[in-house]
Amino acid sequence: MRWWKRFREDLDRPAFQAGIEKFGTGFAHDVDRTWQLLCVEDGPGLRELPLTEETVGMLARQFRVTPEETKQRLEFMRTWGLIEIKAARKGESQVIASSELKRRRDEWSKRKLRETKDKAKAKTPESLRSNSGVAPEQRQRSEADAKAEPNSLTGCVRNVGDLFKYVGIDKKRIAKKYLAPNAFERAFEDFAKTYVAEWSHDGNDCSCSPVDFLDIAMDELKNQGIEWPKCLLARKRELDAN
């Protein structure tokens, strides 16, 4: 995980406001430092970290407070849902994790996780069986079905004519009240430019993904107070389940 999403109103959210009021403006830095320890570039991009005395001491040096106060700050983050502190198993330390950080996971690690899952599926015994004895038309249908799977969606947003088709939604399913000239469709299309400029392109490198586009677009629409059609949320849940 190379970065995580920051939302415009983060410092105005109750968790951060309460932390800043209690511990000072450095609280936001403390959250960043804690999340940073949970990030790795391999696998899903996140890890669980044993809450040992060594970990507490390392965080205390980064927070620039005593180990005792570090534990207080970690407990405060747990109370407000910024991290979880999981109960220790017999003979083991407690563990720090963060569902909130998982929600903010960057597009790079999301894509890597999907690639890992796809490779794992490709190596299943079923996928290694011979195609001998399969009629050509059956094989063609199987290949066509595979291309229709949600995780096979690819392509750069800049080359897309229909954004709804890009994320796997039939525009005919969307009620007219959401379509142009109304706010939802305009905002959805406008976000495509922001996505390219701020999220998916680094020079000539493109990391566009329909799954990530939909995920971030819904966050932005929510921040703007724009209502989206139910099929958008249904599609997101469908993609998240794969």
H or E element that contains 142: helix 136-147
Other C-beta atoms closer than 10 Å to the C-beta of 73 total 21
Instruction: Give the integer Cα–Cα distance in Å for 200 and 154.
Output: 13
pLDDT, residue 145, reads 41
* Ranges of each domain in the chain: 10-103, 149-241
Task: For residue range 37-95, list pLDDT tens digits in order.
Answer: 888 765 556 788 889 999 999 999 999 999 999 999 999 999 998 999 988 666 677 88
In the block, tokens 């220790």 appear at 88
Residues near 196 by beta carbon (within 8 Å), at least 6 away in sequence? 157, 158, 208
Instruction: Give the integer Cα–Cα distance in Å for 2 and 108.
Output: 7
pLDDT, residue 73, reads 95
Instruction: Give the integer Cα–Cα distance in Å for 216 and 107.
Output: 9
Beta bridge partners of 86: 95
Instruction: Give the integer Cα–Cα distance in Å for 66 and 46.
Output: 27
Prediction pTM value: 0.47
pLDDT, residue 148, reads 38
Top mean-pLDDT range of 99-113, 131-145, 146-160, 185-199: 185-199
pLDDT, residue 124, reads 52
What is the rounded end-to-end Cα distance, in angstroms, of the chain? 20
Task: For residue range 174-204, list pLDDT tens digits in order.
Answer: 888 888 777 888 888 888 888 887 777 766 7
Q: Which residue would you say has higher pLDDT here, 238 or 241?
A: 238
On whether the CB atoms of residues 4 and 216 are closer than 8 A, the answer is: no
Q: Which CATH class is domain 10-103?
A: mainly alpha
